[in-house]
Structure 1
Amino acid sequence: MKFQRKLAAAAVLSALSTLSHAQSAPQGTDAAIPKVVVTATPFRAAEGDQILTPAKILSGDELRDKVGGSLGETLSQELGVSASGFGPGASRPIIRGLEGSRVKMLENGMAVSDVSGLSNDHAVAAEGAVARQIEILRGPAALLYGSGAIGGLVNVVNERIPTHLEQKPVGQAEVRYGTVDDSRNASGSIDAAAGAIGFHVDGNIRRAHDYKIPGPRALGDDSSPRGRLSDSFTRQETGGAGASLIGDWGHVGASFSLLDSLYGIPSGEGARIDQSQTRYDIDSLVNTPFDGVESFKFKLGYTDYQHTELDAANEPEVKFTNRSLESRWELAHKPLAGWHGTLGMQTENTHFAALSEHEDHTTVPATHSTSVAGFLVEERDFGKLRMNAGVRLESVKRRPSGMQKRDFDLASYSIGGMYPVLPGYSAGMTLSVAQRAPATEELYSEGPHHATETFDIGNPDFKKETSHNIELTVQKTTGLVRWKANLFENKVKDFVFGHITGVLVEEEGEELRERIFEQADARIRGAEAEIGYNQLGQGLSLRAFADTSRGKLERGDSLPLQPAKRVGFDLGYRKGPLRTGMSLMRAMEQDRLASVEETATPAYTQLGANLSYTQKYRSHDLTWFLLAKNLLDEDIRLSTSLLKDVSPLPGRNFVFGVRTRF
């Protein structure tokens, strides 16, 4: 399906034509620092107030500085988050060493419903360039959104369906250019109102050529090609519009969005993916519908997604399709016997297939999956101790064409508490049990996947995964100096993973590596720490962080594609219209190899910088900015990437641009 370019272009041009005053920078005091609400939690608490879900919110200037061509790139330097690194077009977040279907991707609290969880070469069908904020949730409360969220979730909030009326048109617009890949990006969004009806329009256009690399393409091979990394280009267009009726009683609205993308897979075989998605959403909220109830929410989303894997001659090889209908009901009740909570139900109905263009094999047969889940989350204070408890019961059915049917009954629950040991300081602990049904491709794969150069074989007899999690947290959330530290351990029974056997399968004249999905017990342990000084205030700001995780099978092997240990530092300065900063991250050598991995990932140092200046132009403000990435021009390989041996990250890159918020 061809994308209608006029929608995205209109959003950008309209935003640029209505520039107004930008918001001033917050001051470095508790009273002036705004609390950004985490929309994907049942209590809509602020970052740092979470018990069941340690959270991070990217918004404002911080988000604009970090936004990249993919969600993985945008979030790759956040605490506990790394990226899959399957080229710039398909980099997906990895949370605490867990990836794929164990990390759920949301847009405005509803599943993105793409197929990015199936394989690292599949891009996430959500755009960060037009996001108001991006939320990272790690921990058991993420299970409220599905059993696939054992690792956590990422929620992209673009507020495409307005929830409040604007007094005048507001929004944002930005254009930028990058030197390493000759990239051009234009994005914008507008919110306005007419009477009791709110409107929203947004759009994004991105063009990027193959990017420059700092050394030889192949790791340790000086004779391999240099210059630009072939098939690292991206082309993407997105656009959306929404409207809602808003009053004191609440709101009801709908939205429509389109995505069209073509990007390369730098595997050396000339693969590329042609991706498109059409999405429809309905969102409603009724305040105090009856006594004892604070609010009732209803959401409905339908997604029609497809992508085709193309070879070097642009001939189709495998076509992936996914049509999904999701509904969600939430009832927030007023305090009852001291407990305040949310009761809800979620349903999902999907039709998925991955069909080879050749008659010999069906990569994944057409499969109809349904799930019905009920959940309850409650919160209560016992003196100074704040407790949360949650439970989710879910039934999942998989009905493939011509293969074994499977049913899974899942039960996930958690309990956590946070205690203020001193004013501004708190300590907490969370215990949880989470269950996940094996994904469709893990059960029924039986064919070639050319983009990953594998021949995948699933197992329809797999059991459900069961994860037992414990997490300890200490934090300081007030004052100019704030910090937090987390320790966690996940023990997973019947963990599903892909085992590359070393056997080569001949397929249409191409040799593919045999990948068999297997189950074994696993354990993931890790630690994270972060400290910041004056992060949002005027003057000098500092941040330091470190994280590590280790995933092992109980039989002794390391889990594949595990993230490296990292330590990072940020230094910033704000004064009036000037804002500048630099960041330094050191990733250690990753030599904890799975049985199928042959090479260790070298250590690297990643240095970046930013500079921006806001100037008055007639009746509005313009912010000019310069971003520098990989200033040391290092040969960076990601241990979490299947392509690390043949696909380094981009070399030195300077990004120039201008933006406005109005």
Structure 2
Amino acid sequence: MNIQRTLLASAILSAYSFAFAQTAVVPQVVVTANPFGNSANDQILTPAKVLAGDELRDKAGSSLGETLSQELGVSASAFGAGASRPIIRGMEGARVKMLENGMAVSDVSGLSNDHAVAAEGATAQQIEILRGPAALLYGSGAIGGLVNVVNERIPTALEPKLTGQMEARGSTVDSGRNVSGTLDGAVDKLAWHIDGNLRNADDYNTPVGRLAHSDTRSRTGGIGGSYIDNWGFIGVSASRLSNVYGIPSAEGSKIDQKQNRFDIDSLVKSPFEGFESFKFKAGYTDYKHAEIGEDGAPEVLFKNHSLETRFELTHKPVAGWHGTFGVQTENTNFSALSAEGGPDTVPVTHSTSNAAFLVEETDFGPVKFNAGGRVERVKREPVTGVNRSFNLQSASVGGQWPFVHGYALGATFSYAQRAPSTEELYSAGPHDATVTFDIGNADFRKETSRNIEINVQKTTGLLRWKANVFRNKVSDFIYGHITGNLLDEEGNPGDELRERIFEQADATIQGAEAELEYNPTGAGWSGRVFADTSHGKLERGGSLPLQPATRVGISTAYKMGAWRAGLSLVHAQSQDRLASFETTDTPGYNQLNANVSYTQKAGDYDLTWFLLAKNLTNEEIRVSTSVLKDIAPLPGRNVVFGVRAKF
């Protein structure tokens, strides 16, 4: 990381911002995962990005990772079309918490890159990316940040009339078909919501040919209702996900994924004297997926049953301090058992987590200050193996100083601990989809992260910018080491599976980000320039595996009346910072995307006809964060066309 170069870039951005010092009105988008309900533009101590509206629809892909892959500091695992998980600042897997409406998704996507996130972006109202103090509310799994998919399945407001949105789109690269929709209404004080999504796609084309076993079939649906009055609301929801997708490896495996989910959400305004609100949430998830071999028979059965509860109490300002106290519990049963009578990948394991957290904010003169803390106890109890318990403490403090009108300097320090996951402790069997034989270590210590971030930004005018530098030292970092040994399904010497041993070592992840935006939400011309880089390395030598490439991107758009159009180009440098067991560099690439849309009135409907073009130059793109980078390039040139009706 070259800090001098970053500071020089910040100075150049400052000069440009003075040249374009104009007043701009930016719409306020509330970040629901923030305890204070701040807007996205107020996320000074918890760097956030909120995708919503036209921007979300333009970037929507077949997976959550694809949808977010060009956001600042975010890359994707890219395990074919069916499974792609967000990676934040080089942190992946269990270190990035996945939420749906503020509650854990409770799938097993953090275990391995071949497992899809069980949250659907096609019916989302917005998708939030958060780091910093607010992430402490959601557990030690948020050590690298969190992604919250907001679909408003449990309504929080009474709609004066029937509202909804329907969309149909097709894609040329995979003969894809996608239909999704939401519907909201109210009867007296009862509000209701319905949503659904249907997606079919064949194997996708790449510049070097069609990628076998990259097809997807996805079905999701949800229903919810709330009783809403002046005192607050209480609501329930139920949803079902069914997802079958191919694993683009030589084995030709498929994953058949299913999840049933039930949620309760409530809010009581002014519950006691001195308090603004009391929130209670509960969620039960019944998740399972089967890894199916080329012969059509299941090989490994993954199951996760989870019950989560949350209580949050927000107090009114006391001596200038405004904050939220809460308690969170989680009770899960997880297993990855052989369907063929061989060794189990992970034994049945019962885990419990009990935590309390506090997040506060105040002003010290012109300086805005935010602090949070969390204590948590995690227990893992396998049916075979050694029980483990972990006491975790996490804290974060930060401040922002507006040193000149419209400009601010901020700093955040966080200390966070993470308990080893069940698979990191107890794996001892084959994982056919990744062609590995996984071996955990029940003696692992907890991970401890110490992160410092410094940021400077321009917050007013048509031209706005921000620049961040960060350094994260992680003690006892856990990662999978491919040893080079080949084993059979029983763990004996063979030629079927690569031996992957989970290991623990100290690591450092550091990087920088910068972004400049001109008129991002107004009519007429707009533009964006961004760059991000990060590098994770082991203290004993060598890089962490699957490190993201350094990227630079530029985009321009024009919006006037019913027309909207845009063009973007992202350049990723070659990536040769490899772990000791990685063998191939990842070449650089350029990804050129475009979009155009036209909106017309049709009675009570707003009809938007849209055309999206992805990878216009049909470049062969292989991403360094994918374990399949040598096998599965990203899709080639793809034209997405469709219509969206909103009423």
- TM-aligned CA deviation for residue 52 of structure 1: 3.3
Q: Using a 3 Å threshold, how does the CA distance of structure 1 residues 242 and 619 change in structure 2: closer, same or farther?
A: closer
**Which of the numbers 213, 229, 235 marks the counterpart of 1:253?**
235
- What letter is aligned with 1:148? G
What residue in structure 2 maps to residue 420 of structure 1?
402
Gaps of 5+ in 2: 1-20
What residue in structure 1 maps to residue 336 of structure 2?
354
What residue in structure 1 maps to residue 11 of structure 2?
none
Name the CA distance, whole Å, in 1 between partners of 2:424 and 2:642: 43
- What letter is aligned with 1:106? L
- TM-aligned CA deviation for residue 360 of structure 1: 2.6
Pairs within 5 Å for 1:547-562: 547-562=532-547
- TM-aligned CA deviation for residue 618 of structure 1: 3.4
What residue in structure 2 maps to residue 105 of structure 1?
98
Name the CA distance, whole Å, in 2 between partners of 1:599 and 1:589: 11
What residue in structure 2 maps to residue 624 of structure 1?
609
What residue in structure 2 maps to residue 381 of structure 1?
363
Q: Is the 8 A contact 2:170 2:642 kept in 1?
A: yes
What residue in structure 2 maps to residue 117 of structure 1?
110
**Which of the numbers 271, 292, 298 marks the counterpart of 2:280?**
298
Please provide the CA RMSD for this pair: 1.1
What residue in structure 1 maps to residue 471 of structure 2?
489
Normalised by the length of structure 2, the TM-score is: 0.95
SS of residue paired to 1:48: helix
1:70 matches 2:72: no
Q: Is the 8 A contact 2:488 2:496 kept in 1?
A: yes
What residue in structure 2 maps to residue 657 of structure 1?
642
Q: Is the 8 A contact 2:136 2:372 kept in 1?
A: no
What residue in structure 1 maps to residue 199 of structure 2?
206
- TM-aligned CA deviation for residue 510 of structure 1: 5.9
Name the CA distance, whole Å, in 2 between partners of 1:482 and 1:60: 20
**Which of the numbers 469, 493, 501 marks the counterpart of 1:516?**
501
- TM-aligned CA deviation for residue 238 of structure 1: 0.2
Q: Is the 8 A contact 2:530 2:554 kept in 1?
A: yes
Q: Is the 8 A contact 1:57 1:134 kept in 2?
A: yes
Instruction: Indicate the larger mover: 423-432 or 445-454.
Output: 423-432
- TM-aligned CA deviation for residue 620 of structure 1: 2.5
- TM-aligned CA deviation for residue 507 of structure 1: 1.9
Name the CA distance, whole Å, in 2 between partners of 1:178 and 1:556: 44
1:144 matches 2:167: no
Q: Is the 8 A contact 2:132 2:396 kept in 1?
A: no
Instruction: Indicate the larger mover: 265-274 or 453-462.
Output: 265-274
Pairs within 5 Å for 1:215-294: 215=208, 227-294=209-276
1:390 matches 2:383: no
- TM-aligned CA deviation for residue 29 of structure 1: 8.6
Q: Using a 3 Å threshold, how does the CA distance of structure 1 residues 161 and 510 change in structure 2: closer, same or farther?
A: farther
What residue in structure 1 maps to residue 455 of structure 2?
473
What residue in structure 2 maps to residue 570 of structure 1?
555
1:340 matches 2:333: no
Q: Is the 8 A contact 1:457 1:517 kept in 2?
A: yes
- TM-aligned CA deviation for residue 619 of structure 1: 3.7
Pairs aligned (count): 624
What residue in structure 2 maps to residue 11 of structure 1?
none
- TM-aligned CA deviation for residue 382 of structure 1: 0.9
**Which of the numbers 515, 540, 547 marks the counterpart of 2:525?**
540
What residue in structure 1 maps to residue 422 of structure 2?
440
- What letter is aligned with 2:298? P
Name the CA distance, whole Å, in 2 between partners of 1:470 and 1:302: 35
What residue in structure 1 maps to residue 590 of structure 2?
605
Q: Using a 3 Å threshold, how does the CA distance of structure 1 residues 204 and 29 change in structure 2: closer, same or farther?
A: farther
Name the CA distance, whole Å, in 2 between partners of 1:416 and 1:441: 34
SS of residue paired to 1:64: helix
- TM-aligned CA deviation for residue 172 of structure 1: 1.2
- What letter is aligned with 1:501? T
- What letter is aligned with 1:522? A
SS of residue paired to 2:91: coil
SS of residue paired to 2:41: coil
- TM-aligned CA deviation for residue 34 of structure 1: 1.4
Q: Using a 3 Å threshold, how does the CA distance of structure 1 residues 119 and 199 change in structure 2: closer, same or farther?
A: same
- What letter is aligned with 1:193? A
Name the CA distance, whole Å, in 1 between partners of 2:459 and 2:160: 34
Q: Is the 8 A contact 1:51 1:416 kept in 2?
A: no
Relative contact order, higher structure (CA 8 A, sep 6+): 1
Q: Is the 8 A contact 1:95 1:138 kept in 2?
A: no
- TM-aligned CA deviation for residue 587 of structure 1: 0.3
Name the CA distance, whole Å, in 2 between partners of 1:619 and 1:83: 39
Post-superposition Cα deviations, 1:251-310, rounded to whole Å, max 9, x if no partner, equal: 000000000000001012101100000000000000001100000000000000000000
What residue in structure 2 maps to residue 505 of structure 1?
487
**Which of the numbers 80, 85, 89 marks the counterpart of 1:92?**
85
